[in-house]
Structure 1
Amino acid sequence: MYTTNNIALTLMALSVCLPFAYSLNCWDCNSLINANCNDPFKEDDFAMADCNQKFLPHFPNQPGTICRKIVQKVNDEYRTIRGCGYLNDLGQEIKPGTVLPNDCIKRAGTFSVLVQYCSCNGKDGCNHSTHLIVSSITLIIPIALILSYIL
């Protein structure tokens, strides 16, 4: 038999799992301006940006829907840039609510140019670490196990 506590706990768990309004917050910094944007990242020095409120002039109707971390090396000088992303790796818009696999891509060019960019949208601030991790599933599984045990 369901008790009031079990019903309340179930509703709270479902509210965490269901996206009511899509808004992603990402770390927003550039190591050229503040060296703490590099790895190891010192998040106390920065604020997160609401990507739903950030637009680019050449994409005026496309809010940021992913977090991105870019590490670039040009002539042995490294720079890390963290912020909102607007398009996937193929240059296509990402529909709000579409969960992307955490992915990093490396590109090398001539004259000692190297770029690595990582994209994620699984949780707020997911562009903080060296290795981006999936966190939604790691939250949902324990909640489901607890609910199955209680109910």
Structure 2
Amino acid sequence: MIKFLKIVISVSLLLSFVTDVFCIKCWSCRSSNDPKCADPFDNSTVPITDCNEEKGLSNLPGVRPSMCRKIRQKVNGEWRYFRGCAYLGEAGIQGDERFCLMRTGTYNIFMEYCTCDSKDGCNASGIIGPMPFMIFISGMGLYFKFF
């Protein structure tokens, strides 16, 4: 019985990381179509999209989305928000999802581009929770408690 429990805990820990990486779901919306897409984000009318079901992009054949993204831009004083699946790049800045790429330009233009892959729906806000780490620590605690 203990050996079976050990196998179940080990497989559960492994799957908690694999599903976060390969089957990410992201909020998908544009503030021009739905004002609830802006910040503060209200997902009551916004669909969550399985990125594996995205059709792909014609200019990137064979590339599949692997992250979520949130784009916030200000053009001539008007804020716009876009959320969806991301195809290229890395999560966050140098792997840290707390940081986003920011650019400014002339004519009152500002853009912030945030990417994440830590959990489903991670493009809801700028703060990413440490859920995979907490699952791992909890599982390891159970593992060593019983074995």
Do these two structures clear the TM 0.5 threshold for a shared fold by scoring above it? yes
Aligned pairs for 1:79-98 within 5 A: 79-88=80-89
Aligned pairs for 1:96-111 within 5 A: 100-102=95-97, 103-111=99-107
Instruction: Please report how far the alpha carbon of residue 117 of structure 1 lies from its aligned counterpart in structure 2 after TM superposition.
Output: 0.9
Question: Are the counterparts in 1 of residues 16 and 135 from structure 2 also a CA contact under 8 Å?
Answer: no
Q: Per the alignment, do residues 22 and 130 of structure 1 end up closer, same or farther by CA in structure 2, a change over 3 Å counting?
A: closer
Q: Per the alignment, do residues 19 and 29 of structure 1 end up closer, same or farther by CA in structure 2, a change over 3 Å counting?
A: closer
Question: TM-score with structure 2 length normalisation?
Answer: 0.82
Aligned pairs for 1:42-61 within 5 A: 42-54=42-54, 55-61=56-62
Q: Deviations over 1:59-104 (max 9, x none)?
A: 1311111100000001110011000111116xxxx9xxxxx43131
Instruction: Please report how far the alpha carbon of residue 139 of structure 1 lies from its aligned counterpart in structure 2 after TM superposition.
Output: 2.2
Gap regions ≥5 residues in structure 2: none
The count of residues paired between Structure 1 and Structure 2 equals 142
Question: Are the counterparts in 2 of residues 118 and 132 from structure 1 also a CA contact under 8 Å?
Answer: no
2:121 paired with 1:120: no
CA distance in structure 2 between the partners assigned to 1:20 and 1:141 by the alignment: 16
SS, match of residue 100 in structure 2: strand
Gap regions ≥5 residues in structure 1: 95-99
Q: Per the alignment, do residues 132 and 105 of structure 1 end up closer, same or farther by CA in structure 2, a change over 3 Å counting?
A: farther
* Coordinate RMSD, CA, aligned: 2.5
Q: Which moved more, 1:70-79 or 1:41-50?
A: 41-50
In the alignment, which residue of structure 2 is the partner of 1:137?
133
In the alignment, which residue of structure 2 is the partner of 1:64?
65
Instruction: Please report how far the alpha carbon of residue 3 of structure 1 lies from its aligned counterpart in structure 2 after TM superposition.
Output: 5.5
Structure with more of its chain in helix, by fraction: 2
- Percentage of identical aligned residues: 32
Question: TM-score with structure 1 length normalisation?
Answer: 0.80
